[in-house]
Chains A and B, each alone.
Chain A
Amino acid sequence: MGNIFDLLLINPLTNALMLLYGLLFNSYVLAIIVLTLIIRLITLPLTLKQQVSSYKMQAMQPQMKALQEKYKNDPQTLQAEMRKLGFNPLSGCLPLLIQFPILIGLYQAITRTLATTPLSLLELGSHVYSFLPNISRLVPINSTFFLWDLSQPDKLFIIPILVVVTTYFSNKLMTPPSTDPTMKQTNQMMQMMMPLMFGFFMLSTPVGLGIYWIVSNLVGVLQYYLTKPQLDRAKALHAAPVAGAPAAAGVTAASAKPLFEPPKSKVKVKSTGRVNRSSPVQDKNAKKS
């Protein structure tokens, strides 16, 4: 398993990082930045899918709550109704799960290429591609950048602080607001705890990894602002028309056109700007109202 992971992920990332280092004037920081951008670009469809899914789930919360209340004694029907509604608990996780090994791979590639110890340098030697002999000339990587040795933890605490700040803001932006008080509380706690946890890790991890994390956060924030209109539309598209409530303001038939995830055939957009669904639950709700 370890070998497959090495072969498919860590080795390509390690060699790509070294190749970029050579191409970018032997600047390891530039290599990390460019590789982070490339990875972010490759995983963009997955990130968007995951974000859309989060917003969709968040928008459907009232409907799900209503269903849970209604079928609290009949879990099987509840499951079936939730499925009809388009609820898929894996749809948000799956893209993240796919990014999971990439993150580990990149972590390994950075620590491997920085090779601070004899063992790690020896191991690097068994992972560089033989068909790229010029890569070996780059070793050992020049790990000095401005005030830092990229292979060492930051004794000035600047990088851990930047990691905390960027993680906090990126986290805050990415997490869709929740109407559920429990969820809201959990989100708030996570938004505080996660950055602190990452900052804590950075006290003992190489500066190079911290730089990757900061760049990744900043790219994530930029990505968020660039895709926000689309996310808002996705949210509006899936907003619950409980009790015949109007869909989010500004969502017209034209703008409701899904960009990332085509809505199921159940969704019909009327020229009134209201979004109706053929879900039996909604029909019943509508009748009640």
Chain B
Amino acid sequence: MMLAAGALVLAACSGGEPAPSSFPGLSLDGNDAYLTSNQHVSKFNAATGQEAWRFPASQDSNNPRGPFAGKPLKLGNVVIVGGTIGATGQADPHLYGLDATSGQEVWRWQSPNITATHREFVDGVITDGKLVFAPSGDGNLYALDVTDNKPQLKWTFGGTNKKWARPAYEDGKLFVPSLDHSLYILDAATGKQIGQFTANASIASTPAVKDGIAYFGSFDRFIYAVDATGKQVWQSSERLSGWVWCDALLHEGRLYVGDAKGGLYALDASNGKVLWRAFTSGANRAQPVVAGDKLYVVSFDNYVYSVSLNPQVDNNGNVQLTRLIDNGLGRRLLSTPALHDGVLLVPLFDGDVKVTAISLETNQKLFEYPLKPQATPAP
């Protein structure tokens, strides 16, 4: 029994992940970078790493805020972020509106579905310019009017399982992924369902949408192209190596997407034919980024990789990736980097460093956010 107890303690300790359990989110607005990372939301200068504010400035145990996750959305002078679930199961089920200048809380909103166990906002929110659309762990998609900083629920679209990915918006339509295996197409103004496509497994990534076609992957390891009625246009020519939890990137007629077993694939967006594949040694959850004539991808294995957009493909259809920094960044990389003036800002999943800035010209680290405090010179 002692051994059993020891085993349980050990398992609890060794198996317990570090505090963060949802993916950080980074978005840019000019020189301003907004970041959700575990217990904080922060704003920093994308060129220098200088922090402007951090929310909450201090944690009130009677009224805790966070953890936070997902891509922050700046709407007017308000930054909207979602509370998420923590490693030990505690969750913050609120959406927050923060003053973009000061980082002060302007409003806070929670869904009326207060009895649901899962109410987290894992991936942030999007907007069509009028309403804010918030997918929730309780299975619903909420449409809010946040005019005058008074959030009002306009409509709710239900579902049978968690919605852990932001929807995509195009031309008055929302493409809403769900872990219940379906992609729902809704009228953004009313929330009325227009179409539905059902894959063979969960859909946890935000589709890339262009000209009425949504491109996305599923845990069934296929990539799909679906039109605005929910009709399948194509399915990828092969199964990927793992679950797809990576937002597909559509660029010049090609689709770039990673999978949970380290695969990175390029597909022809017109027919779903796999053009080439490459492999990292960790899950590829973050959306790839194009800069110049290169594709950049960050991986769970802590490395940042690059590959030419027109790479040398071997007879098996594979290409080689190049590591940007030989030793990697020392942490798991699960969130989509942001590109700012030739610098790749890479969010780190855990650890003290939240973002590493890498110059794509020199492939060297420029700074790490938060900046280390300057040593005071001795008198």
- Cα A122 to Cα B283 with chains together (Å): 8
By secondary structure, the B interface counts as loop
* CB pair A136 B1 closer than 8 Å: no
Chain B residues whose C-beta falls within 8 Å of the C-beta of A117 in the assembled complex = 17, 21-22, 85-87
Segment with Cβ contacts to A, from B4-12, B40-48, B362-370: B4-12
* CB pair A108 B221 closer than 8 Å: no
B219 within 8 A of A: yes
Chain A residues whose C-beta falls within 8 Å of the C-beta of B334 in the assembled complex = 119, 122
Chain B residues whose C-beta falls within 8 Å of the C-beta of A201 in the assembled complex = 8-9, 12
| Distance (whole angstroms) from the CB of A172 to the closest CB of chain B | 11
* CB pair A137 B7 closer than 8 Å: no
For A107, give its contact among B1, B15, B162 (CB under 8 Å).
B15
B residues 54-102 in Cβ contact with A at 8 Å: 69, 84-89
Segment with Cβ contacts to A, from B225-233, B237-245, B247-255, B315-323: B237-245
Please report the number of residue pairs spanning A and B whose Cβ atoms sit closer than 8 angstroms. Answer: 120
For A139, give its contact among B17, B219, B283 (CB under 8 Å).
B219
A residues 36-58 in Cβ contact with B at 8 Å: none
Of all chain A residues, the one with the shortest Cβ separation from B14 is: A104
Chain B residues whose C-beta falls within 8 Å of the C-beta of A262 in the assembled complex = none
Chain B residues whose C-beta falls within 8 Å of the C-beta of A99 in the assembled complex = 3
* CB pair B220 A136 closer than 8 Å: yes
Given A107-B15, A136-B221, A137-B200: A120 touches B21 (CB 8 Å cut-off): yes
* CB pair A119 B260 closer than 8 Å: no
Interface centre among A93, A103, A120, A205 (most CB of B within 10 A): A103
* CB pair A111 B15 closer than 8 Å: yes
A130 within 8 A of B: yes
Interface size bracket, B side: 35 or more
B residues 173-212 in Cβ contact with A at 8 Å: 179, 181, 200-202, 204
* CB pair B285 A122 closer than 8 Å: yes
Number of interface residues of A (CB under 8 A): 41
Of all chain B residues, the one with the shortest Cβ separation from A103 is: B7
| Distance (whole angstroms) from the CB of A157 to the closest CB of chain B | 16
| Distance (whole angstroms) from the CB of A29 to the closest CB of chain B | 17
A118 within 8 A of B: yes
* CB pair A125 B283 closer than 8 Å: yes
Segment with Cβ contacts to B, from A77-85, A190-198, A252-260: A190-198
For B220, give its contact among A111, A137, A167 (CB under 8 Å).
A137
* CB pair A152 B89 closer than 8 Å: yes
Of all chain B residues, the one with the shortest Cβ separation from A123 is: B283
* CB pair B201 A139 closer than 8 Å: yes
Q: Interface on A for B, CB 8 Å cutoff?
A: 93, 96-97, 99-100, 103-104, 107-108, 111, 116-123, 125-126, 128, 130, 133, 136-137, 139-140, 149, 151-153, 167, 171, 174, 190, 194, 197-198, 201, 204-205
18 A-B pairs besides A111-B15, A116-B85 with CB distance below 8 A are A96-B3, A119-B22, A122-B285, A125-B219, A125-B283, A128-B243, A130-B221, A133-B239, A136-B201, A136-B202, A139-B202, A140-B161, A151-B89, A171-B1, A197-B5, A201-B9, A201-B12, A205-B12
